[in-house]
């Protein structure tokens, strides 16, 4: 990571056979990749899992927001709440 305050970076991921673009700051991409490795999942699979959870939320946040919230909850040990 070049700097903590680097602007968002757009990447493509595949969810349920469809490509979608997500913009996240590099720090969040790094955390997401680390979480996927820890969970033993490809990055796309973890994103798809988080996407399925967010769709069930009311109201459902945007995907980038859901990813950030999931990562913060994961770091805080509050993923199951």
Does the global pTM surpass 0.95? no
Closest listed residue to residue 51, CA positions, set 62, 42, 39: 62
CATH of the domain spanning 9-75, picked from 3.40.50.2300, 1.10.40.30, 1.10.3990.20, 1.10.1060.10: 1.10.3990.20
Q: Where are the domains of the chain?
A: 9-75
45 vs 48: CA distance, rounded Å: 5
| The pLDDT of residue 78 | 80
Q: Which tens digit of pLDDT belongs to each residue from 1-10?
A: 567 889 999 9
Q: Is 4 strand, coil or helix?
A: coil
| The pLDDT of residue 64 | 98
Q: How far from 24 is each of 2, 7, 80, 81, CA to CA, in Å?
A: 14, 8, 23, 24
Per-block mean pLDDT, blocks of 10 residues, the chain (81 long): 82 95 97 96 97 94 97 86 55
């Amino acid at each position: 990571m070049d700097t903590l305050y680097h602007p968002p970076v757009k990447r493509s991921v595949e969810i349920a056979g469809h490509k979608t673009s997500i913009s996240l700051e590099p720090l969040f991409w790094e955390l997401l990749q680390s979480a996927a490795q820890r969970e033993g999942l490809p990055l796309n699979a973890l994103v798809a899992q988080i996407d399925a959870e967010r769709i069930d939320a009311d109201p459902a946040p945007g995907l980038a927001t859901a990813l950030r919230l999931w990562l913060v909850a994961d770091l805080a040990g509050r993923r199951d709440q």
